[in-house]
Amino acid sequence: MSFRQRTSRTRNRRLSNVRQRRQQHLLDVKVRSRRATKNRIRSALGMVWKLALVLILCVAGYAGAREAVKRLFFENPDYYVQAIELQTDGTLQREQVLKAADLHEGANIFSVNLARVRDRIQELPQADEVEIVRKLPSEIDIRIVERKPVAWITSETEINDPFASDAAFLVGARGVLMKQKKLLPEYLGLPLIVGCSSESLEAGKTVESLEAKTALDLLRLTESSFLQTRFQIREIDISKNYCLLVTDKNRSRVMFGLNDLEGQLRRLQVFLDYCDNTKQELETLNLVAQRNIPVTFTNPAAAVINDTLEPAVEPRIMKAIPVHAQESRGHQDSGKQETGSSAPKSRATSAPVPKASRIQQKKAE
């Protein structure tokens, strides 16, 4: 028994002690960590090389595509602008539009920034809507809808010829001031807004004063209603700053307030209907008051004519009297001549004065 136990003990004994085993374990860990580090570095370098290759290919492809696009499109003479078509419904000139847009023939059609060109053209006071189309290979179309002037506006209180005045500007429905190089004949018949001294008037600016905006609103309301044929505005005076003094084609003067224009136009309609029914002409009307509205009417044309013109009075036939008496006649004959001469004088002085002469004397006084 003792021999068997000894042999089993010798077989189960470890070849290394604890210290040796610990040292061997540490060596194995170091070897594994180095190998793993090398593997990670190798994989990272491979990834970097792949990314670099992809980047080089992308750059090369971009450079090649850019060069191809440059040669095929931007440097191709077939894509140079050879025609610029301009369509406008107003007075804008071709040279004026091309100068404002900085656009000229011979430029590459793809290098033209359509949005920038449209913004530059819209800076013109006359341009309201702008549309630009690029037509390949060499044409650009520009279509402009111009602002329609609705009135003349000036800071002066009286103006005879807005065409010849530097202080008069055309104004659109939105209040944009314009100075046309080419004046059309229909501009002379536009209404005139005078007395706008509360702001400086310059081409391209928009009117900001309440009176000017109210005057434009009044023009818009009268043109869009039935009053256009019965009440055609010729002049609007805004110099009083609290009302609008409007003169129409019949020389009627109507005062409008700055508020509730639609209500005042309804009251004006009532008075125009009354004038039509009574065959009268409106002279002055104050629509600022809502009740007890002051109004005056002009005299009929027949009455004015009868007051100013009278039929000629038939001349009276007087008896001729000799100027020089004969020397042989005595004092009796001379007395008769004096009485005879005084009678027609008295009759002449007692004649009634014609009505027309009395009116002329009153006017002279």
> Among 20-34, 171-185, 207-221, which is the least confidently predicted range?
20-34
CB 268 within 8 A of CB 225: no
DSSP-based three-state secondary structure for 301: helix
Q: What pLDDT, in 10s, does the model give residues 7-41? A: 555 555 555 666 666 665 555 555 567 777 888 88
The Cα 121–Cα 143 span in angstroms is 11
- Cα–Cα distances (Å) from 67 to 60, 63, 241, in that order, read 11, 6, 66
Predicted confidence band at 348 (pLDDT cuts at 50, 70, 90)? very low
**Section 194-218 average pLDDT:** 91
Q: How much is the mean pLDDT over the chain? A: 79
Cα dihedral 171, 172, 173, 175 sign: negative
Q: What pLDDT, in 10s, does the model give residues 245-276? A: 999 998 999 999 999 999 999 999 999 999 98
Predicted confidence band at 113 (pLDDT cuts at 50, 70, 90)? very high
What is the per-residue pLDDT for 19?
Answer: 65
Higher pLDDT, 12 or 188: 188
Predicted confidence band at 339 (pLDDT cuts at 50, 70, 90)? very low
What is the per-residue pLDDT for 355?
Answer: 42
Exposed, middle or buried by CB within 10 Å (0-12, 13-18, 19+), for 32?
exposed
pLDDT > 90 in the chain, percent: 39
Predicted confidence band at 343 (pLDDT cuts at 50, 70, 90)? very low
What is the per-residue pLDDT for 316?
Answer: 58
Q: What is the pTM of this model?
A: 0.60
